[in-house]
Amino acid sequence: MTSIRATCAAPMKKRAGRTEFQRGIATRDTGGGWQVVTTGPQGSGVLSSMSNANCFIVLEHARGDTQIGDPVDIVPFDGLI
């Protein structure tokens, strides 16, 4: 699984103590780096969040809430299959 470093463009809520893979939308910023936001509500029944996503945002076990500008790892969907 290849990951890319990105910057959070919006805050994300998460309780420390478990790893989460949130659905996200990654885009290039003006400097050529990556920035990412979630697709919105992450519930398992929210199919639109999966169809709008182009990556997973990997929020590791020890991490809590994420703020704008924080670095995160993303796993792009392109090329996984």
Domain that holds residue 36: 4-76
> How high is the pLDDT of residue 70?
97
CB atoms within 10 A of CB 23: 21
State the DSSP string of 2-40. --EEEEESS-B---TTS-EEEEEEEEE-TTS-EEEEE-S
> Is 81 contained in some domain?
no
> How high is the pLDDT of residue 42?
77
CA distances from 52 to 22, 26, 41, 62 (A): 12, 11, 12, 27
> How high is the pLDDT of residue 63?
93
Query: Residues 55, 61, 80, CA angle at the centre, nearest 5°?
Result: 25
- Number of folded domains that form the chain: 1
- C-alpha–C-alpha distance, residues 14 and 60, integer Å: 10
81 residues of the chain, pLDDT tens digit each: 688 999 999 999 999 999 999 999 999 999 999 999 999 877 777 777 778 899 999 999 999 999 999 999 999 997 655
Partner residues linked to 20 by β-bridges: 59
> How high is the pLDDT of residue 62?
94
> Is 60 contained in some domain?
yes
> How high is the pLDDT of residue 50?
78
> Is 38 contained in some domain?
yes
> Is 46 contained in some domain?
yes
For position 27, which CATH number holds?
2.40.340.10
Q: How much is the pTM?
A: 0.85
